[in-house]
Amino acid sequence: MTGRIAFQGEPGAYSHQACHEARPDMEALPCKTFEDVIDAVRKGHADLAMLPVENSTYGRVADIHRLMPESGLHIVDEAFVRVHINLLGVKGARLEDIRTAQSHTVLLGQCRAFLREHSIDAITGADTAGSAMHIAQMGDPQHAALASELAGEIYGLDVLARHIEDHDKNTTRFLVMARKPDLKRRGPSGMMTSFVFRVRNIPAALYKAMGGFATNGVNMTKLESYMVDGSFSATQFYADIEGHPDDHNVRLALEELDYFTSHVKLLGVYPADPKRH
């Protein structure tokens, strides 16, 4: 293996699956919190961090946009991971005998139709992989977990039903972060640039700041606002755009953005994941 990649959660979590898919040659390092993931890379215990930023069904992952700008790390890649949810039971368990299914509340909400159809009660667990570990430790054939197939392999559980999620396009976007940026690469599917900014306190500042991207033909794929330091009057914006800062049109758009902002911080320049398109 070449290096370590840190993720939040127990072994078998969907972030662990993302590490396997995006960096199969690296050792995955589980961490308790997102802050621990960032610290592991900052302190040299891991080379990369795998952080979930948004889900196609449930939107933005809480706290990530607050943590990234102050992390001291740089985005070097993105990864889109299809979230397949499976019903996992102990060896010998049968679907018709299952009475409860335990998982993170988000996953339970994504499998309502299946659970209702099979008269299975939902039990809230701390996380997906932790629920799978708990079910394995219980050893009761009437209780199951909702988690990834990877979690089933790690904790010795059988897959009693595959891909039971209500929505067949449920996908989570992850960002891979490192201690040093890499601005020289060019991806076959294009490049992405991510940054945060605060607009100057003048009328229509945000409208004017965005104008440069429109007039220069730069596609902005994401723009989100969030409070800074708990203040209702201090707002920071997070943005993803297509292109590289060295591209002529992107350079012009960023120059115009700089004129109408009081703070701009580049978070990363990285190849677009082919699954984005």
Give me the residue label for tokens 């991971």. 81
Model confidence band, residue 181 (pLDDT cutoffs 50, 70, 90): very high
* pLDDT score at 231: 64
Mean pLDDT of 194-208: 88
* pLDDT score at 55: 87
Give start-end residues of each CATH 3.40.190.10 domain in the chain: 4-83+170-178, 86-161
Mean pLDDT of 175-197: 94
Task: Please write the tens of the pLDDT for every residue from 135-158.
Answer: 999 999 999 999 999 999 999 999
Label the pairing between strands 27-31 and 59-60.
unpaired
Give me the residue label for tokens 């800074």. 228
Closest CA to 40 of 7, 75, 63, 10: 7
Whole-structure pTM value: 0.89
Closest CA to 140 of 199, 94, 90, 83: 90
* pLDDT score at 56: 84
- CATH of the domain spanning 86-161, picked from 3.40.50.2300, 3.30.70.260, 3.10.105.10, 3.40.190.10: 3.40.190.10
Q: Would you please indicate which residues are annotated as catalytic (active-site) residues?
A: 172, 174
Query: What token pair was written down for 277?
Result: 């398109």
Helix (H) or strand (E) holding 188: none
Model confidence band, residue 82 (pLDDT cutoffs 50, 70, 90): very high
Residue 62 has pLDDT above 80, yes or no: no
* pLDDT score at 212: 94
Give start-end residues of each CATH 3.30.70.260 domain in the chain: 191-276
Model confidence band, residue 34 (pLDDT cutoffs 50, 70, 90): very high
* pLDDT score at 135: 98
* pLDDT score at 1: 52
Query: What token pair was written down for 151?
Result: 């979690």
Domain at 191-276: CATH code: 3.30.70.260
Closest CA to 182 of 100, 250, 269: 269
Helix (H) or strand (E) holding 153: helix 149-155
* pLDDT score at 201: 76
Residue type, 79: A
Closest CA to 101 of 79, 85, 124: 124
Query: What mean pLDDT, rounded, does the chain reach?
Result: 93
* pLDDT score at 170: 86
* pLDDT score at 232: 65
Residue type, 127: D
Of 1-5, 7-11, 153-157, 158-162, minimum mean pLDDT range? 1-5
* pLDDT score at 249: 97
Determine the topology of domain 4-83+170-178 in CATH.
D-Maltodextrin-Binding Protein; domain 2 (3.40.190)
Mean pLDDT of 101-125: 94
Per cent of the chain over pLDDT 90 is 78
